[in-house]
Structure 1
Amino acid sequence: MSSNEYSIRVNELGKRYEVYATPRDRMKQFIVPALQRLSGCQPSSYYQEFWALQDISFEIRKGEAFGVVGRNGSGKSTLLQLITGTLAPTVGTVETNGRIAALLELGSGFNPEFTGRENVYLNAMLLGMTREEVEVRFDKIASFADIGAHLDQPVKTYSSGMLVRLAFAVQVQIEPDILIVDEALAVGDALFQKRCFSRIEKLLSDGVTLLFVSHDQESVRTLTHRAILLKGGRAVSMGTASQVLLAYRKLLHEEESAYFAQLTSKPLNDGAASPIGSDKKENLVVLESSELTDKELVQDTPLGRIDQLSFGDGGIEVTSVKTFNRDNEPCSVFYPGDVIRIHVECVSHLETDCINVSVRIRNREGVKIYSWGTLNQDMQILAGLREGDVFWKRRIHVGERFDVRLECDCTLGPNLYEIQAAVSYEGRPDYTAQRLLHWKDEAAFFQTLIRQDEYFFGGLSDLRMVAKW
């Protein structure tokens, strides 16, 4: 890639901190090694090394939207600070082309004693604008921030939401070549977030490069083209946004499972326990209790060899997901008003109850449209809002194959839809004690079309509006 084709280039980047046990060790490090070098001795170290970031390399093309995901402490904010130049790297290089606008920390660059108006001028001029340019754009900045009379109050009196409103309003008005956003928008209210995302989409359409950090997976999927996943300061996955977010969900699931494993003290039944991947059926554990431990959940099962689109603790597997029409005929194209039937087939490798089979539907743009499962219906039955058998109480046996048929009216706008399927163990019938046994991305697809001349509407979903006069 030539230099004029990229906005950001990161090469073998690393940031190391020196961690001292006591202030005395810090003082020793300042004095003793220098004296040892003068005397020809090997200098001593009085600190421990901590690498907040290590061996990070990627390139972002001009006009590309790039996401950064990872748990707290994974190195996301450090990476952004290195790119913006507020931190100096220990090793490696960062190259950027163009004016950068960065929204990293609430109120960064603001003087708490100055008013909002004064800080707008101060912040914008620090970002390279002249006073005349600020005056031309000031009304737009004030309108976007929408904090009213508080604009002439000291910033130290602002709430976190007001701070981020003002900061974002300034950053997007400097017409950046690169916009860097780090979680700050999460503190805004829903209306302000909508306004921010609309503005970001406008900047992207104008060719601005976006580097976006968020824990909101749907926002990353919707706004970015590619992404990187960080763990412990290192890159563990990089690729399309959907691929990286799947790896992120797997990582979160693995860490959650490890956490619950530490809490689990219930021993395995006698004769239990073959490791994942064993092919001997006689090693399967038959559970006599509805309480599943981590070790019991990951017995001999095909999930020991999880494919790229699946993850989970194992124990019960989603084998297939199919869509049918009102007449139970296989169908993958629906029109508003049709009935959509989704059949989720599963096979169990253990004996248990407390199971939930669910689906999530996303459109082509990656936006989650709907999620629902058998537990949602069970909760209504248990609350006395509807009648029927509670699936959560059903006993499922080793080797049993079972299917769940989910049905709904098609109220979706024209698009291509992905069905994600999952089977989970629910310790309580309220989604507060969930263990994911098997999650399957891209389990099935279907398309919705619209008949322009008889049943037409615009948008994601049909609200079945009526007109009266």
Structure 2
Amino acid sequence: MSSDIVIKVENLNKCYQIYDQPRDRLKQFILPGVQRLLGYPSKNFYQEFWAVRDVSFDVRKGEAVGIIGRNGSGKSTLLQMITGTLSPTSGTVSTQGRIAALLELGSGFNPSFTGRENVYLNGALLGFTRGQIDEKFDAIAGFADIGLHLDQPVKTYSSGMMLRLAFAVQVQVEPDILIIDEALAVGDALFQKRCFQRIEKLLSNGTTLLFVSHDQESVRTLTNRAVFLKKGKVAAYGASSDVVLEYRKQLHLDESAYFSDVAKQLSDKAAKTSVAASGLVVGTSVLNAGEGLPVATSRSDQLSFGDGEAKILKVETLDLDGVAATVFYPGDMIRIKVTCQSAINTDKLNVGVRIRNKEGVKIYSWGTLNQDIAERAGNSGGEIFWSRQATAGEIFEVELEMQCSLGVNLYEIQGSISYEDTPDYAAQRILHWVDEASFFQVLMRREEYFFGGVSDLKMRARW
């Protein structure tokens, strides 16, 4: 293994034997051997479930790699094999350096020991002497910040306190490889912020990170590369932004398949009453459920998905006078014009945008439904876009307007048109989503007006 590769996974497989009944385990233990002894073909009394199938990838020193996938896709099983707590059925895992892992919450803790005793126990498991842990103990206790509970049995801890102590131990010992499996999800927002700051510091010091999370933005911004697991197999592997996009597409396909099944059942139950009576045609997706990801013919095809009953034709940025523009300054008015076309007769539409900076951080998301919600709450009597009727083949435009309060950066606009069954984002179905629909740049006239950061908070000084 190359000296700069600290984790190498080659053709990794994990198979579990699933038994229908407990007595089948006894049958499997005895009967196949007897059958072979008597010259009969042996019979298995179990079904095979492959939790991980033919997974291969490598991670270099100091690299951050995310692992994403739906529940049951094999993420935790993969991590357990990498850490050595689970043996693979076949394939190999090679690692270099000390591994610290946050897998199942509280794993590695003795519930009857106090927090203090568990700190020394975990330190010993990681290869540290008592003297070395003594030197780090104050830093561990300070980061965990659980006060007097440190001398109470761990079994009395809440899940948040357990996380604080476990994370504090793992990061303060400065591992060569840090593995985190969804554990941070139970922490409060302030502690999560401290955790991410600590992770960033470890990465800058050369620690390698394997990070599992359902939070797509965290994976996109914290990691360089990502692995998308689907039913135990690698569905995508590469740059985090590209892999997260493939994951979002798959989530959309799965959701479409689910709602298509529900719609079919309701339709059959109602003697094949057309769902189109409400103005929404179900099941005419451009991306038909179950067919997998579409074959992309261009860069733009790879960046869009949706059910196809309406689509975004174009997204443009305009200045205050309605002239096309791509460069703006703080205080300027930015108009985002979204041109759409409906393929069906329908209402309950929502046209929206999401704005991200070049680092991939979501800055803002907003749509016509947000304005509708405010109109309804204020009872102002203004026009509600959600109630607007669109006809088949109609092309229409929506302008979203904002005053620029953004910092210097390059910004991406993602456009979307969705069907909202209720006017509150509680039942959304994406009809068309387009990444990289448009771009604009924000510059600053430093001699006239200046601020730092991602957004202008319009501070004022008094004295």
- Aligned partners of 1:51 and 1:305: how far apart in 2? 28
User: Are the aligned partners of 1:299 and 1:315 in contact in 2 as well (CA < 8 Å)?
Assistant: no
Does the residue aligned with 1:169 lie in a helix, a strand or coil? helix
Count, aligned residues: 450
Distance 1:74 1:446 in 2: 38
Q: Which residue of 2 aligns with 1:155?
A: 154
TM-score, structure 1 normalization: 0.92
Residue 373, structure 1, aligned to residue 362, structure 2: no
Task: Please state how far the C-alpha of 1:231 moved relative to its aligned partner.
Answer: 1.2
- Which amino acid in structure 2 is aligned with residue 13 of structure 1? L
C-alpha distance in structure 2 between counterparts of 1:445 and 1:125, whole Å: 52
For residues 267-322 of structure 1, give each alpha carbon's deviation from its aligned partner in whole angstroms, at most 9, with x where no partner exists: 59xxx9xxxxxxxxxxxx995533x242245599xx98771101111111111111
SS for the counterpart of 1:295 is coil
Query: What residue number does 1:331 align with?
Result: 325
TM-aligned CA deviation for residue 59 of structure 1: 1.1
Deviations 1:130-157 (A, max 9, x none): 1111000000000000000000000000
**Counterpart of 1:449?**
443
Q: Given the superposition, is the C-alpha separation of residues 347 and 176 from structure 1 closer, same or farther in structure 2, using an over 3 Å criterion?
A: same
Task: Confirm or deny that 1:289 pairs with 2:278.
Answer: yes
Return 331-340 or 153-162, whichever deviates more.
Answer: 331-340
Write out aligned runs for 1:117-156 (5 A): 117-156=116-155
Query: What is the letter of the counterpart of residue 433 of structure 1?
Result: A
Q: SS state of the match for residue 383, structure 1?
A: helix
Q: 1 CA distance for matches of 2:242 and 2:400?
A: 27
Q: CA deviation at 1:451?
A: 2.3
What secondary structure is seen at the aligned counterpart in 1 of 2:3?
helix
In 2, Cα distance between the equivalents of 1:332 and 1:204?
35
Larger displacement relative to structure 2 (391-400 or 147-156) = 391-400
Letter paired with 1:127: L
Whole-angstrom distance in 2 between the partners of 1:118 and 1:168: 15
Query: Structure 1 residues 243 and 214, CA, compared in 2 at 3 Å: closer, same or farther?
Result: same
Question: How far apart are the structure 1 equivalents of 2:11 and 2:172?
Answer: 33
Q: Distance in 1 between matches of 2:286 and 2:207?
A: 46
1:264–1:293 Cα contact (<8 Å) kept: no
Q: What's the CA shift for 1:85?
A: 0.5
1:321 to 2:315 alignment: yes
Gaps of 5+ in 2: none
Secondary structure of 1:258's partner? helix
Identity of aligned pairs, percent?
64
* Partners of 1:381 and 1:387 within 8 A in 2: yes
Q: Indicate conservation of the 8 Å contact 1:257/1:294, yes or no.
A: no
Per the alignment, residue 80 of structure 1 pairs with 79
- Counterpart of 2:278, as a letter, is S
Secondary structure of 1:249's counterpart equals helix
Name the structure 1 match of 2:259.
Answer: 260
Q: Distance in 2 between matches of 1:154 and 1:304?
A: 54
Who is 1:51 aligned against? 50
The answer to whether the aligner puts 1:312 opposite 2:306 as a matched pair is: yes
Hey, what's the Cα distance between the residues in 2 that align with 1:324 and 1:357? 17
Range with bigger deviation, 353-362 or 38-47 = 38-47
Q: Is the 8 A contact 1:334 1:448 kept in 2?
A: yes
Which residue of structure 2 lines up, in the alignment, with residue 422 of structure 1?
416
Which whole-Å CA distance do the structure 1 matches of 2:381 and 2:356 have between them?
30
> Does structure 1 retain, via aligned residues, the 8 Å contact 2:267–2:275?
no
2:237 is the alignment partner of 1:249: no
* SS across alignment from 2:283: helix
1:59-97 C-alpha deviation (Å, 9 max, x unpaired): 111111101001111100000001000000001111111
